[in-house]
Structure 1
Amino acid sequence: MTENRIPLDDLMVFHQLARSLNSSLDLDTILRTILDQMERIIAADMWTLLMLDEQHNDLYYAIASGNFEGALRDLRVKMDEGVAGWVVQHGETLIVPESENDDPRLQQTLAADRRRVRSVIAMPLRGRKGVHGVIEILNPRSSQMSDYTIAFLHILCDHAAIAIENARDVARIQQLTITDDATGLYNVRHLYKMLEHELDRARRLHHPVSLAFIDLDRFKMVNDIHGHLIGSELLARVGSRLKQLSREQDSCFRYGGDEFVIMMPETSATEALALATSIHTELINTRFHMSNDLELTASASVGLATCPPENLAVHAIIGAADARMYEVKSNGRGKVRGA
């Protein structure tokens, strides 16, 4: 009886594959490792890896071989479109050889240089929590499309899916450690870490960094009149509004209680005053529609600090902004006090 054994060289590839995929919890590194392994296993015109965007219910090109990555970066694939959409919807591998290249799904599969897709191998990245994406191999060499190679690719996909899930789980846990539960903004622990990094960057590059310290006025009355549930909801809505009003490069934090901080990198004192004044005006004119059909507004007192001329220490710039906020509190509330 003949015993079919896996060649030692292939066993070493399996071993190296598992080690590579499990040695990192960084998603980009894992995706690059997957692509590198695909290129070693099978010759083809192009390899792509599409990831599922659950929020938009479509697929995006996370990585591609050669010079195609940039060309594909902004393309999206609908869930009912082409080979990749079919694979995600059905959770099954799809192999279309050249002899069947009239398959309409091939015509919807777009390569970066618009070359004709003659054949394809597409496999789902299916883990414990469902399908996370698709590996597409476009125009693979027909001589290499053996059962052995397909089985090898399946093993790659299984390991890849597990590695992707592990990376996402770690990223989710890390996000929870820096996020405030009530508002979804960054927490004070992360403020100190980010501000220290930004102040170090400001020192090296001689760029200013500004901080806005925001305290809601008479927030205790909201809790006393409407209860703590409504108070917590208002905090969340204010936090969301502050993030919406801030620039993309700025970061919003819940400092504690009814206090918020906005960190503004590369922003001078003059620019910070203009930005904070605009945010403050928009905030106090916002009408928040609460879950119990109540409509509330929020007033706030804002203090600013900018480094330089403030001290380059984390506590110093926070303390300066906090002190100016309390000056506003002591002089009628509801205004912005610049550096």
Structure 2
Amino acid sequence: MTEDRIPLDDLMVFHQLARSLNSSLDLNTILRTILDQMERIITADMWALLMFDEGRQDLYYAIASGNGEDALRDLRVRAGEGIAGWVVERGETLIVPESENDDPRLRETLSADRHSVRSAIAMPLRGRKGVQGVIEILNPRASQMSDYTIAFLHILCDHAAIAIENAHDVARIQQLTITDDATGLYNVRHLYKMLEQELDRGRYMRQPLSLAFIDLDRFKLVNDVHGHLIGSELLGRVGTRLKQLSREKDMCFRYGGDEFVILMPDTAASDAIVLATALHRELMNTHFRMSNGLDLTASASVGLATCPPENPAVHAIIGAADARMYAVKSNGRGKVRGA
């Protein structure tokens, strides 16, 4: 009686695969490793990895290689739609050989006007918390769709799902360390880190950096009159509103207490005063509906600083903006003051 054994070369490939996927906690590095392994295992027209977006309940192409990969950047796939949508909805592997190319799921995949999808392999990336995404291989060569290859792909999916889940867990933990609990904005620790990075980048790119220091006026009265729970809720609402009113490239931080900071990269002093004035006006006109039915508004004093030409040091730019904010408070509150 003979015993089937896995060749040593293949065992080494399995070993290298596991090491590669578990040697990094960076999601992009893991996705690239998965894609590289797919291309090694099987010849096809396209290899792709779709990630499941829990908020939107659909899939997006996180990484792809092959014919037409550029067209996938903004493509979304609904659960139940096409090959990948079927897999994420059911959590099962789907293999459609070319002999069954009348399968309607093929026609729904990538849209027929851009690609001719004749066959496909799609497998779920299933972790502890459910399906993370889908590996999708389009038009694989029929000669390579053996049981051995499919088994290898299943091993790849198992290792990939664990690696992706670990990367997500680490990212969530890192996010918690840089996030303020009350407002959901970045915390002061992250402010100093990002300010240092942006100052270095500004020096290298010869681009200005502006900073707005925002202090809510008479916020202590909110706590004294309505209680600290309402005060904390208002801080959270103000933080959300500041983020809404800022540009996409700006970064919002809670500095401490009722103080906030907004970093404005690539923004000269003249532009910063215009942006901060508009933001301040909108903030002052915002009515915040509290959970107990109260309708509150928030006044604020704002100081601005820009580097260069000021001292290009972290504490110097914060100190300059802070000093201008206090100058506003000393002269009636509720205004914006630049350099």
Question: TM class, shorter-chain normalised?
Answer: over 0.9
Distance apart, 1:246 and its partner CA: 0.7
C-alpha contact (below 8 Å) 1:71/1:112 kept by paired residues? no
Q: Which amino acid aligns with 2:230?
A: I
**Quick one: structure 1 residues 299 and 240, their matched pair in 2 at CA, closer, same or farther if it must change by over 3 Å?**
same
C-alpha contact (below 8 Å) 1:72/1:112 kept by paired residues? no
Q: For residue 220 of structure 1, what is the aligned residue in structure 2?
A: 220
**Deviation by residue 1:61-111 (Cα, 9 ceiling, x = unmatched):** 111113533211011111121111110010000111122221111110126
SS at 1:140's partner residue? coil
SS at 1:334's partner residue? coil
Q: For residue 124 of structure 1, what is the aligned residue in structure 2?
A: 124
**Deviation by residue 1:131-156 (Cα, 9 ceiling, x = unmatched):** 01101111111121111111111000
SS at 1:213's partner residue? strand
Q: For residue 88 of structure 1, what is the aligned residue in structure 2?
A: 88
How do residues 64-79 of structure 1 correspond to structure 2 at under 5 angstroms?
64-66=64-66, 68-79=68-79
**5+ unaligned residues in a row in structure 2: which ranges?**
none
Distance across 2 between alignment mates of 1:42 and 1:204: 44
Distance apart, 1:113 and its partner CA: 7.6
Q: Which amino acid aligns with 1:208?
A: P
**Deviation by residue 1:250-300 (Cα, 9 ceiling, x = unmatched):** 111000000000111111111111111100000000001111111100000
Q: For residue 152 of structure 2, what is the aligned residue in structure 1?
A: 152
Q: Which amino acid aligns with 1:322?
A: D
Distance apart, 1:308 and its partner CA: 1.8
Of 110-119 and 10-19, more deviation after overlay is shown by 110-119
Distance apart, 1:8 and its partner CA: 0.9
How do residues 284-323 of structure 1 correspond to structure 2 at under 5 angstroms?
284-323=284-323
Distance across 2 between alignment mates of 1:80 and 1:21: 29
Distance across 1 between alignment mates of 2:192 and 2:68: 40
Aligned length: 339
Q: For residue 43 of structure 1, what is the aligned residue in structure 2?
A: 43
**Quick one: structure 1 residues 206 and 114, their matched pair in 2 at CA, closer, same or farther if it must change by over 3 Å?**
closer
Distance apart, 1:114 and its partner CA: 2.3
Distance across 2 between alignment mates of 1:63 and 1:162: 18
C-alpha contact (below 8 Å) 2:185/2:239 kept by paired residues? yes
C-alpha contact (below 8 Å) 1:31/1:63 kept by paired residues? yes
Q: For residue 283 of structure 1, what is the aligned residue in structure 2?
A: 283
Q: For residue 107 of structure 2, what is the aligned residue in structure 1?
A: 107
Distance apart, 1:237 and its partner CA: 0.5
Distance apart, 1:203 and its partner CA: 2.1
2:8 maps to 1:8 = yes
How do residues 166-177 of structure 1 correspond to structure 2 at under 5 angstroms?
166-177=166-177
Q: For residue 201 of structure 1, what is the aligned residue in structure 2?
A: 201
SS at 2:10's partner residue? helix
C-alpha contact (below 8 Å) 1:210/1:307 kept by paired residues? yes
Distance apart, 1:306 and its partner CA: 1.0
Q: For residue 190 of structure 2, what is the aligned residue in structure 1?
A: 190
How do residues 251-266 of structure 1 correspond to structure 2 at under 5 angstroms?
251-266=251-266
Distance apart, 1:207 and its partner CA: 1.6
**5+ unaligned residues in a row in structure 1: which ranges?**
none
Q: For residue 138 of structure 1, what is the aligned residue in structure 2?
A: 138
Distance apart, 1:112 and its partner CA: 8.9
C-alpha contact (below 8 Å) 1:287/1:295 kept by paired residues? yes
SS at 1:180's partner residue? coil
**Quick one: structure 1 residues 112 and 185, their matched pair in 2 at CA, closer, same or farther if it must change by over 3 Å?**
farther
C-alpha contact (below 8 Å) 1:48/1:63 kept by paired residues? yes
Distance across 1 between alignment mates of 2:204 and 2:35: 37
Identity of aligned residues (%): 84
Distance across 1 between alignment mates of 2:131 and 2:231: 40
**Deviation by residue 1:176-202 (Cα, 9 ceiling, x = unmatched):** 111111101010011111111111222
Q: What RMSD in Å do the two structures reach over aligned CA positions?
A: 1.2
Q: Which amino acid aligns with 1:144?
A: Q
SS at 2:66's partner residue? coil
Distance across 2 between alignment mates of 1:331 and 1:192: 29
